[in-house]
Amino acid sequence: MYWDKRLRSDFPLLERKIEGKPLVYLDSGASALRPKVVVDAMVNYEYHHHANVHRGVHTLSQEATEAYEQSRLLLQRWLGAEHPEEIIFTSGTTEAINLIAVGWAAPRLQPGDEIVVSVMEHHSNFLPWQRVAQQTGALLKIIPLCAETETLDVSALDTLLTKKTRLVSLAHVSNVLGSVQPLADVIQRAHDVGAVVVVDGAQWVPHNPACVAELGCDFYAVSAHKMYGPTGVGALYGKLERLEEIEPFLVGGGMVEEVSETGATWAALPARLEAGTPPIAAAVGWGTAVQYLERLEQEPGRLLAHSKDLITYAVAQLQNIPGLRVYAAEAERVGVVSFNLQDVHPYDLGQLLDMEGVAIRTGHHCAQVLMKSLRVPGTARASFGVYNTREDVDAFVEAIDVARSMLLG
Ligand SMILES: Cc1ncc(COP(=O)(O)O)c(C=O)c1O
C-alpha cells in the first residue's frame, strides 16, 4: 500500500531515534504527529498573511479571514455537514462539549430530566454532564458494558431511555477500547424519545469522514490534533436549529451585532459562538491537515481500511502473547487497542517499551469510570495513525516480548 513507506517521510518526527532506536509512535489516539505540509502552512500563514480575522478591510485581514473560513469549509466537508455555519471553531473536543453543556443543557434541564452517557466516556464527555446534572437536579444515567464482550450494552437502553431523557451523549469510538458505537441505532432511539444526541467524534474523524448529516446527530465534537492538525483548535458541529438554541457562554468581540449601554444583540452563526480572536494559524494548519486526509481518502474507505488492517493485525498478535489480556477483543474497532500483561503495572510496561523506541500510552486515559467498571487501575494502550505500518506492529510486539521476559522471567 502507498502507506507502507513513502508516507512516513511526510512526518519529520518519525526520523527521531529514542534510546538509539527508530521511533515507533503508537500514541496517535492521544495526539497525532503533524505532516510537514501542516507546519509549513502555519509558517506560511504567519510569515505572509497574518492579521486578525473578520475585522479589517485591509488586504492582510481579508487574506487571514479567507484562510480561516476556508478551513471551516474543509471541516464542513470532512464532517459531512450541510452548512458552513454549522461548524463552530473551539479549542478542542473538550471545549465543544462544555459549550453544549453550559450553553444548551444547563439553561434547559430541570429536576427530573435525564441525561444518558456511557460508562466508557472520556472525562471530556462525562464531567460536563455530571456537572450539569448536579447544577440542574437532572439525573445522570450510565449505559454499562456488556459483561461478556466489554462493548456497549445497547440492550440497557430499553430501560435507560425514557420520556424524561433530554440528552444522550456518546463517543463515536471509545478512546480506551477502540470500539465503534452503534450510533445509528442509538440516535434513532434517542430521537424517538425526544432527546438531543451529542457525539464525541474525537477518535473517529482521524480514520474516516463523519457524515454527520446522514447520522442525524444534533451535535458532533472533534479536535484538530488527533487528525494531524495542531493543538489548540477543534470544532463543534451542530444542526443549525440546535446551535441557535445555545446561549453563548463567551461574550465579547466578534460575536455581536449591536451593543448599547443597556443591552446587546448577537451576530448570526457561526460568529455568535466564536467570541474573541480565534486560533487563526492553528485553524489554517487544520485545514491543511484535512486536505492531507482528503488526498489519502481519494478512494473512499482507504483510510479506514488501513486503520482496520493494522488494528486487526495488532490484536491477533497481542492475543498470542501469554498472559496478555486485550479488552473488548472481539469488538468492531478503529485505531485503538487496550491491554494489560498479567498484573504488571501498565506504567512499567510503558517505560520498558519506551526503551525499545516504542511510544504507547499508559494509565486511565481520562476514563476513570471505565477503569472502575473494568476493575483495573489502568491499561496500556496502542493507537495507530496513517504513518504506522505492520512493521511497527511487529516492533511493538517484539518490544512487549522483551519487556515480558524482564518483568515476568
Ligand atoms: C474520545 C475523546 N474525547 C475527548 C477527548 C478530549 O480531546 P481534547 O483534549 O483535544 O479536547 C479525547 C482526547 O483524548 C478523546 O479521545
Q: Does 381 contact ligand 1 (Cβ within 6 A)?
A: no
Q: Does 93 contact ligand 1 (Cβ within 6 A)?
A: yes
Residue 386 has a pLDDT of 96
Architecture of domain 41-296: 3-Layer(aba) Sandwich (3.40)
**Distance from residue 201's CA to the centre of ligand 1 (Å):** 9
Q: Whose CA is nearest to atom 9 of ligand 1?
A: 94
Distance CA 326, CA 282 (A): 36
pLDDT of 2 strictly over 60: no
pLDDT band of 55, cuts 50, 70, 90: confident
Domain spans of the chain, in order of start: 2-30+300-408, 41-296
313 three-state secondary structure: helix
pLDDT of 113 strictly over 60: yes
Which CATH number is 2-30+300-408 given? 3.90.1150.10
Strands of 126-245 (E only): list them.
Answer: 139-143, 165-171, 196-200, 219-223, 234-238
Q: Which of 99, 119, 120, 122 to mutate to test the pocket of ligand 1 (most atoms within 8 A of CB)?
A: 122
Q: 132 vs 6, 69, 224, 235, CA distance in Å?
A: 48, 32, 26, 21
Q: Does 223 contact ligand 1 (Cβ within 6 A)?
A: yes
Per-residue cell: 301: 474507505
Just list the catalytic residues: 366
**260-302 pLDDT per residue, tens:** 999 999 999 999 999 999 999 999 999 999 999 999 999 999 9
Residue 56 has a pLDDT of 82
225 three-state secondary structure: helix
Distance CA 207, CA 296 (A): 10
Angle at 390 between CA 407 and CA 314, to 5 degrees: 50
Ligand 1 atom having least distance to the Cα of 94: 11
pTM of the model: 0.97
Share of the chain above pLDDT 90, in %: 97
What's the distance, CA 362 to chain centroid?
18
> Which positions ≥6 away from 135 have C-beta within 8 Å?
106
**Distance from residue 289's CA to the centre of ligand 1 (Å):** 18
Q: Does 176 contact ligand 1 (Cβ within 6 A)?
A: no
- Contact call for residues 62 and 56 (beta carbons, < 8 A): yes
Distance CA 77, CA 82 (A): 8
pLDDT band of 409, cuts 50, 70, 90: confident
Distance CA 317, CA 304 (A): 20
**235-249 pLDDT per residue, tens:** 999 999 999 999 998
pLDDT band of 6, cuts 50, 70, 90: confident
CA dihedral for 286, 209, 98, 384, sign (positive or negative): negative
Per-residue cell: 291: 486536505
pLDDT of 4 strictly over 80: no
Residue 3 has a pLDDT of 58
Query: How high does pLDDT run on average in the chain?
Result: 96
**Distance from residue 229's CA to the centre of ligand 1 (Å):** 14
Q: Does 94 contact ligand 1 (Cβ within 6 A)?
A: yes
In this prediction, residues 192-209 reach a mean pLDDT of 98
pLDDT of 323 strictly over 70: yes
Q: Which of 124, 286, 368 to mutate to test the pocket of ligand 1 (most atoms within 8 A of CB)?
A: 124
Residue 93 has a pLDDT of 98
**65-80 pLDDT per residue, tens:** 999 999 999 999 999 9
Q: 393 vs 47, 360, 379, 400, CA distance in Å?
A: 39, 12, 18, 11
In this prediction, residues 330-352 reach a mean pLDDT of 97
**138-167 pLDDT per residue, tens:** 999 999 999 999 999 999 999 999 999 999
